């Protein structure tokens, strides 16, 4: 039996015990704290002993731990013990209290892991939900317990953790990630990045409860005994140059972030802060978790080209929690591929390159690595390249189910292609099962382009309109509209759906007349998309809901609009 990824921690503890494994840069509390591979294994074994005193394989362990090394130990220890980790976060994360309560209740954990500093907040939170049988502070577990651990190798089908989705179109759901899924996806990422054992470094700020943060920071370094250096997301938001300074420390470093992070960093880092940055060692700068905008890539590259950043480092990608995280990416050392498609043809389901600059500008998410990707029609039949349809995925990284939800599991994870032949060629894996992603996309010249979410489509007078296209138009229509804080969606009308746009005010637009902004928005949308805006709401900062990964939560925004909560 092939060893699972978690077994690599013990391997590196034997072979390179003094080499750094995980370093947390504590900008908020001060200092750097490092776990060597030997120490990581020691603490994981000690925690595993304690966990097996409290529960057994299959029991859920909710991780309510602040960002830091204790979070890493919590995940490793739970996987050592073959319990099911539930990576969540310590109470108090602004705007995510309901999500924490919902995910916690759904997982129904036997044990809660936290830390001594976070214990009071966790205790207060547990008083509002069904409390677990055991609450354990990771930092109080004695390393002496490690000697009592007897290894229990995980099997491929053993459940490693429940990854709760960010819920951009529905309530968060627990995705069952097995040890086999995690091993496969880490391998796929490793090979796509062409990382070098014991040399390449991961430097990130992503939250560890998020799928991209967990796999890129905790899992992928296990592949080659590599070093992961990370910080708190709040530290990044406060001063994004901290991320770039961290990247500047290494000669072969990979990182990742959602699209907004690149736009935010390019806009916030000052010329004075750029002095001294050396980004020539950035090998891979993955851009995923939300739609990748060509403007973000251009702005970031322009802002930091003088710091040695190579254009080839920017790596657009596509993934989702149901596939562990990673599905496709642009090749290493390949520049991002940006294509302008005819907007009318794309609305009708065909990707036709536009002859002029006008049209829908899409960034390719690259090609799959170690898995299959198909674009299918409504009947489930594979569509030829150039035709828009639902993205389906098949591979060892695809999760097996949603936690305790057989109906949604069958709908999402049990798809079978209608027909096994496309353009005269027999399709690999036609028998299924396939993962239905709920995302729309198109294959063009062998590359995947993601065009939107099926449930987010705005359908007016029988024509499809992609909300992200409308949102991009709106945010350029007037300086009072805050970038990346626009939600476009439809509401029922008497004869057809009607378009509603909600936008937050920008800092410089606080004094702007709402009527003037609305007129500019309506004119821009009508001119670019041939659509009438039924209602435009200009609201205060923070009103447009976003998921934990930074995506616009359009369904949540629709609910708030219908309930009259947006003013």
Contacts of 106 (CB under 8 A, 6+ apart): 164, 172, 173, 174, 403, 404
The predicted model gives 119-147 an average pLDDT of 94
pTM, two decimal places = 0.88
DSSP string, 378-406: TTSPBPPTTB-EEEEEESTTS---BTT-H
pLDDT value at position 169? Answer: 46
Rounded distance between C-alpha atoms, residue 450 and residue 278, angstroms: 32
Give the lowest-confidence range in 171-180, 279-288, 357-366, 379-388. 357-366
The pLDDT value given to residue 557: 86
Specify the range with the lowest mean pLDDT, choosing from 13-17, 79-83, 310-314, 559-563: 559-563
19 compared with 431, residue with greater pLDDT:
19
The pLDDT of residue 402 is above 70: yes
The answer, yes or no, to whether residue 426 has pLDDT greater than 60, is no
155-161 average pLDDT score: 97
Euclidean distance between CA atoms 553 and 240, whole angstroms? 24
What is the percent of the chain where pLDDT is above 90? 69
* pLDDT for residue 499 is more than 80: yes
Give the pLDDT of residue 161: 98
Most confidently modeled range among 41-45, 339-343, 480-484:
41-45
Is 304:279 a contact under the CB 8 Å cutoff? yes
How many Å apart are CA 123 and CA 211, to the nearest integer? 26
Token pair 């609450």: residue = 135
Please say if the pLDDT value at position 464 is more than 90.
no
Q: 233 phi and psi, to 5 degrees?
A: -55, -35
Look at residue 9 and tell me whether its pLDDT is greater than 80.
yes
Q: How confident is the model at residue 549 (pLDDT cuts 50, 70, 90)?
A: low
Average pLDDT, the chain: 90
CA–CA distances in Å: residue 398 to residues 73, 169, 185, 363: 25, 20, 9, 24
Worst-scoring range by mean pLDDT, 84-98, 165-179, 433-447, 553-567?
165-179
User: What is the number of other CB atoms lying within 10 angstroms of the CB of residue 329?
Assistant: 27
Q: What average pLDDT does the segment 312-335 reach?
A: 94
Predicted confidence at residue 501, as pLDDT, reads: 92
Task: Return d(Cα 534, Cα 500) in angstroms, integer.
Answer: 6
498 pLDDT band, cuts 50/70/90, is confident
Q: What is the mean pLDDT of residues 376-387?
A: 91
Helix, strand, coil fractions of the chain, as percent rounded to 5: 35, 25, 40
Output the CA torsion 499→523→462→319 (10° steps): -70
Residues 6 or more apart whose CB falls under 8 angstroms from that of 527 comprise none
Answer whether residue 99 shows pLDDT above 90.
Answer: no
279: pLDDT strictly greater than 90: yes
Task: Report, as an integer, the average pLDDT of 182-200.
Answer: 94
Per-residue confidence band for 460, with pLDDT thresholds at 50, 70 and 90: confident
Q: Is the pLDDT of residue 165 over 90?
A: no
Average pLDDT over residues 384-400: 95
CA distance 486 to 498: 17
272-276, 480-484, 555-559 — which is least confidently predicted? Answer: 555-559
Tokens matching residue 7: 């077994």
pLDDT of residue 201: 97
What are the strands, taking DSSP E only, across 173-247? 174-178, 201-204, 227-231
pLDDT at position 423 is 54
Give me the domains of the chain, ranges plus CATH numbers.
7-238 (3.40.50.12780), 339-455 (2.30.38.10), 458-562 (3.30.300.30)
DSSP string across 509-555: GTTS-HHHHHHHHHHHHHHHH---EEEEEEE-TT-S-B-TTS-B-HH
User: Rounded mean pLDDT of 299-320?
Assistant: 94
Task: Report the pLDDT averaged over residues 283-303.
Answer: 89
Under the banding of pLDDT at 50, 70 and 90, the label for residue 427 is low
Q: 119-123, 267-271, 451-455: lowest mean pLDDT where?
A: 451-455
Per-residue confidence (pLDDT) for residue 61, from 0 to 100: 98
First to last CA, the chain: 59
Model confidence at 1: pLDDT above 50: no
DSSP letter string, 108-175: --SEEEE-TTTHHHHHHHHTTS---SEEEEGGGS-GGGGGG----PPPTTSEEEEEE---SSSS--EE
Q: Using a pLDDT cut of 70, give the percent of the chain over it.
A: 94
Q: Which residue has the higher pLDDT, 255 or 459?
A: 255
Residue 70 has pLDDT above 90, yes or no: yes
Taking residues 109-122, report their average pLDDT: 96
**What DSSP element (H or E) covers 374?**
strand 372-376
Reading the block at residue 189, the tokens are: 């990422």
Lowest mean pLDDT among 90-99, 109-118, 133-142: 90-99
Q: Which two tokens stand for residue 243?
A: 């991320």
Q: Is the pLDDT of residue 170 over 50?
A: yes
Q: What is the mean pLDDT of residues 226-245?
A: 96
pLDDT-derived band at 164, boundaries 50, 70, 90:
very high
**DSSP run (H or E) holding 297:** helix 294-304
């Amino acid at each position: 039996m092939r060893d699972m990824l978690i077994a690599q921690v013990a391997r590196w503890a034997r072979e390179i015990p003094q080499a750094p494994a995980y370093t947390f840069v504590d900008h908020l509390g001060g200092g750097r704290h490092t776990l060597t591979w030997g120490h990581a294994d020691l603490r994981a074994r000690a925690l595993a002993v304690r966990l097996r005193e409290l529960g057994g394989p299959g029991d859920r362990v909710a991780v309510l731990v602040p960002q830091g090394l204790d979070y890493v130990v919590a995940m490793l220890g739970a996987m050592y013990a073959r319990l099911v980790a539930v990576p969540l976060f310590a109470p108090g994360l602004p705007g995510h209290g309901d999500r924490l309560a919902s995910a916690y209740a759904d997982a129904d954990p036997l044990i809660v892991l936290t830390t001594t500093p976070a214990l009071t907040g966790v205790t207060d939170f547990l008083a509002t939900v069904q409390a677990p049988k055991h609450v354990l502070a990771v930092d109080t577990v004695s390393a002496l317990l490690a000697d009592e651990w007897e290894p229990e190798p995980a099997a491929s089908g053993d459940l490693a953790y429940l990854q709760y989705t960010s819920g951009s179109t529905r309530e968060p759901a627990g995705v069952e990630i097995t040890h086999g899924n995690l091993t496969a996806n880490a391998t796929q990422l490793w090979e796509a990045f062409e990382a070098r054992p014991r040399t390449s470094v991961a430097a990130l700020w992503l939250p560890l409860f998020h799928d991209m943060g967990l796999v890129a920071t905790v899992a992928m370094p296990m592949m080659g005994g590599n070093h992961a250096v990370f910080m708190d997301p709040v530290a990044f938001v406060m001063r994004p140059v901290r991320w770039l300074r961290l990247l500047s420390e290494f000669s072969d470093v990979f990182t990742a972030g959602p699209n907004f992070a690149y736009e935010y960093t390019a806009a916030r880092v000052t010329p004075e802060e750029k002095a001294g940055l050396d980004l020539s060692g950035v090998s891979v700068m993955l851009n995923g978790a939300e739609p990748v905008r060509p403007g973000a890539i251009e702005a970031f590259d322009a802002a930091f080209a003088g710091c040695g950043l190579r254009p080839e480092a920017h790596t657009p990608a596509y993934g989702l929690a149901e596939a562990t995280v990673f599905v496709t990416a642009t090749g290493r050392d390949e520049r991002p591929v940006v294509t302008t498609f005819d907007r009318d043809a794309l609305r009708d389901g065909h990707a036709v390159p536009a002859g002029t600059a006008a049209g829908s500008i899409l960034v390719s998410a690259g090609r799959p690595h170690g898995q299959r990707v198909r674009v299918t029609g409504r009947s489930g039949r594979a569509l030829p390249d150039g035709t828009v349809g639902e993205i389906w995925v098949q591979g060892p990284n695809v999760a097996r189910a949603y936690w305790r939800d057989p109906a949604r599991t069958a709908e999402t994870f049990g798809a079978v292609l209608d027909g096994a032949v496309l353009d005269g060629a027999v399709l690999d894996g036609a028998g299924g099962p396939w993962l239905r992603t709920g995302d729309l996309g198109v294959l063009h010249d062998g590359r995947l382009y993601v065009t939107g979410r099926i449930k987010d489509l705005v359908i007016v007078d029988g024509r499809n309109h992609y909300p992200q296209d409308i949102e991009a138009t709106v945010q350029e229509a007037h300086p009072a509209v805050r970038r990346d804080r626009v939600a476009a969606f439809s509401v029922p009308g008497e004869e057809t759906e009607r378009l509603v746009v909600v936008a937050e005010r920008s800092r410089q637009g606080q004094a702007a007349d709402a009527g003037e902004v609305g007129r500019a928005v309506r004119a821009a949308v009508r001119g670019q998309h041939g659509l009438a805006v039924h209602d435009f709401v200009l609201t205060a900062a923070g009103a447009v809901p976003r998921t934990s990964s930074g995506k616009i939560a359009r369904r949540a925004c629709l609910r708030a609009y219908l309930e009259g909560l947006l003013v």
